[in-house]
Amino acid sequence: MFSSIAYSSFFLSTIFLTSLIFQSKAQLNATFYDTTCPNASSIVRSVIQQALQSDIRIGASLIRLHFHDCFVNGCDGSILLDNSANIQSEKDAAPNTNSTRGFNVVDNIKTALENSCPGIVSCADILALAAEASVSSQGGPSWTALLGRRDSLTANQAGANSSIPSPFESLSNITAKFSAVGLNTNDLVALSGAHTFGRAQCRLFSNRLYNFSGTGNPDPTLNSSYLTTLQQICPQSGSGFNVANLDPTTPDTFDNNYFSNLQNNQGLLQSDQELFSTSGAPTISIVNTFSSNQTAFFQSFAQSMINMGNISPLTGSNGEIRSDCKKVNGS
């Protein structure tokens, strides 16, 4: 039995440790820029809505930047850094090269924010705000982004190659990568629902169309008429950089049709369809729930975006507020 003094000491130590673990989350808050840059959110939204006029894909591209940023060293804006003498850019990592896009819009947002409140809003927070504005501008849920991240001084190209989930991976591998950053199975299914809009290049799924896992045949979980459509978009000898809609039903609207597509064997990426077609997987019941209840999906998606945005942010005096999202200050 603990003595009362020992118990009190143990209890206080436990509280201290718990506070350390959650400190980074507690330092992000919804009112971070209320006095220093009160129009930050509306400025971000305005630039994105303008960009959507000429590029309907941009919302999906911006949310992907936030996702690929957060999975590598946390949500620190490291994905935005270009190559330099001291930095191997994450843009050149396999999951990002010739694939990630929207950097020009991030630069436009940064310019607008610097004009309004110079030196205040981090590039990492721009990605979090841009993700919310992109989703809510295209029919999806709105949420209050937690803010106060600072920008990294380094990038981690090797981490980008190893930590970002791949469309070719098994569900168990992808689940492990989510778990490694503190996200659970519900987060995995909800965040995968971001594939309700946007495009994917043929090279990311053409293995399913002709020679799946070395069988010489298409992926058996692909709907046959959908297979024919995709083979026309992605001929066997064609460019791997042609694009197909991630959601064939409502390609530019953020809704729950992604999950109905999975039930109809119309998931575009292997990593999409696995959520529903992996025998006995805990993801199947979540797909079914989100397919039948868009409100449940929207609520889960918003919470999972907040959860993802909480991955290891730099706060306080760590990192910096970059004046140019592409490079570290003074470089």
Identify whether 103 is part of a domain: yes
Identify whether 17 is part of a domain: no
68 is catalytic: yes
pLDDT tens digits for 142-179?
A: 999 999 999 999 999 999 999 999 999 999 999 999 99
pLDDT tens digits for 300-326?
A: 999 999 999 999 999 999 999 999 999
When pLDDT is averaged across residues 94-108 and rounded to a whole number, the result is 97
Identify whether 1 is part of a domain: no
How far, in Å, CA of 54 to CA of 229, rounded? Answer: 26
| Residue 187 is assigned to a ligand binding site | no
Among residues 45, 57, 66, 68, which one is catalytic? 68
* DSSP track, 150-219: BB-S---HHHHHHHSPPTTS-HHHHHHHHHHTT--HHHHHHHHGGGGSSEEEGGGTTHHHH-GGGSSS--
Question: Rounded to the nearest 10 degrees, what angle do helices 294-309 and 58-70 cross at?
Answer: 50
| Residue 66 is assigned to a ligand binding site | no
When pLDDT is averaged across residues 41-46 and rounded to a whole number, the result is 98
| Residue 74 is assigned to a ligand binding site | yes
Confidence tier at 19 by pLDDT (50, 70, 90): very low
> Does 247 have pLDDT greater than 80?
yes
Structural domain span for residue 192: 39-198+246-310
> Does 186 have pLDDT greater than 90?
yes
Please state the domain count of the chain: 1
| Residue 55 is assigned to a ligand binding site | no
| Residue 72 is assigned to a ligand binding site | yes
Identify whether 149 is part of a domain: yes
Identify whether 170 is part of a domain: yes
| Residue 195 is assigned to a ligand binding site | yes
Confidence tier at 23 by pLDDT (50, 70, 90): very low
- What average pLDDT is seen over the chain? 93
When pLDDT is averaged across residues 69-80 and rounded to a whole number, the result is 98
CATH number at residue 150: 1.10.520.10
Which residues have CB under 8 Å from 252's CB, separation 6+? 56, 57, 138, 197
Identify whether 316 is part of a domain: no
The pLDDT value recorded for residue 27 is 85
Identify whether 58 is part of a domain: yes
The pLDDT value recorded for residue 65 is 98
Identify whether 19 is part of a domain: no
How far, in Å, CA of 88 to CA of 41, rounded? Answer: 31
